[in-house]
Chain A
């Protein structure tokens, strides 16, 4: 059972435009929502993450919007650049605590291939 659904599968935007990727989750126990960026031949790299107690988080050109009641969250990339062309994954986890440390297993969306044309 897929617990995190991501859309669209692919996205083409022009340089300077806004890229928007959406994710929906089913498990209401999830309480940590990161976004990862992956370039070909490389592992995913953390872009930005959010906890459900805030509705929006912005870091540079990247913004996460979070809607707890709708169980949805999205990534907005402002002023998209050709260098942003990559695959983007949303993820979710339920944070656990043990021995003074936190832990959780990430459940990933299927990914969105973003292409930014110059």
Chain B
């Protein structure tokens, strides 16, 4: 069974631009969560989608948005990029969610660098 696939693996952007990251979950998984990982702040939850609906949201500004398609694939968009947005963005999928007995499977992330 293929794992969680994130594309692209690496991305370089400049301040003010916008970016879209993609995540294909494990086949059959309906929940997709996004996390930001930085050396200073660690792993922080961005949002979770289930059946095309955002079900949970972290404490990030509105510049960070996402969506989920009918095939459970998800995209994350960051507008008006700032230097502080440089991070590893991780996508995780699970059958139903990050709860009881529902392990989340992480992809290897997209490394976003802002110049």
Number of interface residues of A (CB under 8 A): 30
| Shortest distance between the CB of A40 and any CB in chain B (Å) | 11
Size category, B interface? 20 to 34
**B31–A103 touching, CB < 8 Å:** yes
Binds A, one of B13-21, B42-50, B70-78: B42-50
Collect the chain B residues with CB atoms within 8 Å of residue A111's CB.
42-43
**B108–A46 touching, CB < 8 Å:** no
Chain A: CB-nearest residue to B41 = A110
In the assembled complex, the Cα of A46 lies from the Cα of B106 at a distance in Å of: 9
Interface flag for A42 (CB, 8 Å):
yes
Binds B, one of A16-24, A59-67, A72-80, A92-100: A92-100
Whether A109 contacts B42 in the complex (CB less than 8 A), given A49-B103, A95-B100, A101-B50, comes out as: yes
Interface flag for B84 (CB, 8 Å):
no
Collect the chain A residues with CB atoms within 8 Å of residue B98's CB.
32, 93, 103-106
Chain B: CB-nearest residue to A43 = B106
Point out which of A44, A91, A98 has the most chain B C-beta atoms below 10 A from its C-beta: A44
B56 interface neighbour in A89, A97, A105, Cβ under 8 Å: A105
**B56–A108 touching, CB < 8 Å:** no
Collect the chain A residues with CB atoms within 8 Å of residue B55's CB.
98, 103
- Complex interface residues of chain B between 13 and 39 (CB less than 8 A to chain A): 30-31, 33, 35
In the assembled complex, the Cα of A98 lies from the Cα of B56 at a distance in Å of: 12
| Shortest distance between the CB of B31 and any CB in chain A (Å) | 7
Collect the chain A residues with CB atoms within 8 Å of residue B31's CB.
101, 103
8 inter-chain pairs at a CB distance below 8 angstroms, sorted by A residue, are A43-B92, A44-B106, A45-B106, A49-B103, A103-B50, A104-B97, A104-B98, A108-B42
